[in-house]
Structure 1
Amino acid sequence: MGRAGRLRKPELTGSHAELNTALHALHKGAGLISLSAMVRALEGAGISRSTIYDAFSSRRLPSWDVVDALVEVLATKHPQMAPEEVQPRFHRLWLSAVDEEPYAAPAPDQEASESQWFSAPSPDSPWFVAPAQVHYDPSYEVVLESVIAETQDYDGKRVWLNVPAKDRAAAKTLGALWDATAKRWYAVDPSPDLIRWRPDGE
């Protein structure tokens, strides 16, 4: 087993600093589990040890997939929290941090070359294609109403799932959803890959 302990905290500002502080606090609440333990819990998720470490200790903003996976693992270990209760807050902080990231403007020569490459052809050019005309068809609304009705019917076709914490990222990718009221995972018309988490007798 890896050694439990605090991970280095970088100097940050704004929403990224709030996100990083919240992640470190969640890590503390989960018992300061070791980096190796987090790597094992996320085995199969395609997230490397260095990526996990950077999420805590680098000044680079981690991707949402990485933050989401870490919140799943740490909140599951926390005795007073569930992942679904804290994920919305972390997502809001991450979105704010993305909005606050500085925009890296392209160099002048790069901007010029790209604008030349992607410039639209003139109407006299043999490469010019006139934009298609879009006509409204009332039948579109009939199709839309049918799709909405089918979607609303899905509530009666739920298949409940018991998904272990270590498999939640994979289950989400396969289409599993969380019912915050029932506090259970479920799927609609689940694939064979999801059926393996179906409880016996349900």
Structure 2
Amino acid sequence: MTAPDPRVIQLVMSLRGSGVTDRLVLAAIERTPRDIFVPDRFLDHAFDDRALPIDCGQTISQPLIVGLMTQLLQVDDRCKVLEIGTGSGYQAAILARLARRVYTIERYRTLAKEAEARFAALRLTNITPRIGDGTKGWPEQAPFDRIIVTAGAPVRPDTLLAQLKPGGIAVIPVNNDRGSQTLVRYIKTDSDTLDEEAVMDVRFVPLVEGETKAL
């Protein structure tokens, strides 16, 4: 049996101390090797609790933010999840260990193809990736039990929230009037209205319309 990587153990302990208390979320993070999602030039920092640059001017999120957003989603093995912003694929890989099925959309072709190769290497067969405009969601597969957006929306993304099931949960960074972003959890009630909870200030790359085919 391979000995646990002490860097992973240290990261998980740090996340637990910072508020990621869901044992299933922590186990998913522990089982997902962040180093394969990080560019080679940043491998020395793969298990640091910090965001790192990736291709196409994007980032791989700080593990604490990944853990907290996943915890807020309350994913279980019956959930069908939509992720907007595949990026490196790290968040989708963690969700795949918790959910029944993950649908993930990326506007950059380069990132999408690299993430798809990582999913295959990890044998994560319950992820369906797509290259396209994440602001439109995935109407053909809607409704979803959970929706997560890993980019800052300029306003509340009602097009995405319309694809959420009654009783479903969405976790989305949204621009606020202070010039920053607020992480908001939306819960769609049985009456098809949305309860909103502002969680914390965050910083993400902006959510942009359209697909970038050249990259």
As a proportion of its length, which structure holds more helix? 1
As a proportion of its length, which structure holds more strand? 2
Same-fold call, TM cutoff 0.5: no
Higher relative contact order (CA 8 A, sep 6+): 1
Give the greater-gyration-radius structure (CA).
1
Question: Taking structure 2 as the reference length, what is the TM-score of the superposition?
Answer: 0.28
